[in-house]
Structure 1
């Protein structure tokens, strides 16, 4: 018996194509879950210094919330640019909260923060509640840009295009 030209064997690309379509569909769902203008969840971050900062208290400022992990190579790679971005725009009102993922050991986060002299708020999401409230963040890095009215205006999964991010920050900080 010979395989017909319509058999799955004659189309080996079908499974990878279907898998790719599924991944793209799920990514699309993730992006539409926080469409531009979606209110940021009302959460309270607890910094590694013990300070409590709520998204409500940050109204009136442009805020970046970056979910990261010390075990994430892309997170570690992008962190110097995150520091540069914060330092460049903090005088104009940018706030930045780096949220370490639930699985990240607190002593690793503390060590990373101290050795890299991170200048912004670093919080640990010890129960995973903050990641859940931001749409079940599981991929790192994931960064949200929140406008002065408390609306999510951009979500980045992976390292952002920093030139484009800076243009968007300049626009939002000027408004």
Structure 2
């Protein structure tokens, strides 16, 4: 009887874990959605304009410690890869107030593109992103080369970018 309860407990935990995985990553995507992204400067960026070069699209929030920790990595990648045509777009989650996003952008001197997603439409289009940071490495053909939940490893990201640039 005790073994049976242990088995049921383990099965229940596995099912809960699987349900959580499905909930938080319910919409894995293989291709960049054809949408428009609004920047904090009022520009509209069509994702189709990213075609031809690699791009990093990251979903973040001003209240996310891991997102803040990732900023120096994004700045370094931007400094080394922007001249090679690599775009970085950091999309603030819908719960993030625009004035907080703008203030942090200025305070941290963020050199890459910062966008807002006030209705959550962009997050939905990217597979229903709910957790931050979530980063997509976009290949020149607009396929998703890497989908990373949590902090990314800068060295590995650079290697991936170098591979994609060599192919483009």
* Structure-2-length-normalised TM-score: 0.89
Contact 2:52 2:140 in 1 (8 A): yes
The yes-or-no answer on 1:141 pairing with 2:136 is no
Q: 2:119 matched to which residue of 1?
A: 127
The yes-or-no answer on 1:161 pairing with 2:156 is no
Summarize deviations over 1:128-160 as a string: whole Å, max 9, x none.
Answer: 000000000001000001111111111000001
Unaligned runs of 5+ in 2: none
Q: 1:42 matched to which residue of 2?
A: 34
CA RMSD of aligned residues (A): 2.1
Contact 2:27 2:127 in 1 (8 A): no
Summarize deviations over 1:112-138 as a string: whole Å, max 9, x none.
Answer: 000111101100001100000000000
Q: CA deviation at 1:21?
A: 5.3
The yes-or-no answer on 1:55 pairing with 2:52 is no
Q: In 2 relative to 1, CA 21–96 (structure 1 residues): closer, same or farther, beyond 3 Å?
A: same
Within the candidate set 106, 109, 131, 2:101 is matched to 109
Contact 1:31 1:155 in 2 (8 A): no
For residues 137 and 32 of structure 1, what CA distance do their matches in structure 2 show? Answer: 8
Q: CA deviation at 1:86?
A: 1.5
Q: CA deviation at 1:5?
A: 3.0
For residues 130 and 46 of structure 1, what CA distance do their matches in structure 2 show? Answer: 10
Q: In 2 relative to 1, CA 145–15 (structure 1 residues): closer, same or farther, beyond 3 Å?
A: same
* Structure-1-length-normalised TM-score: 0.86
Q: In 2 relative to 1, CA 111–105 (structure 1 residues): closer, same or farther, beyond 3 Å?
A: same
The yes-or-no answer on 1:33 pairing with 2:28 is yes
Contact 2:88 2:112 in 1 (8 A): yes
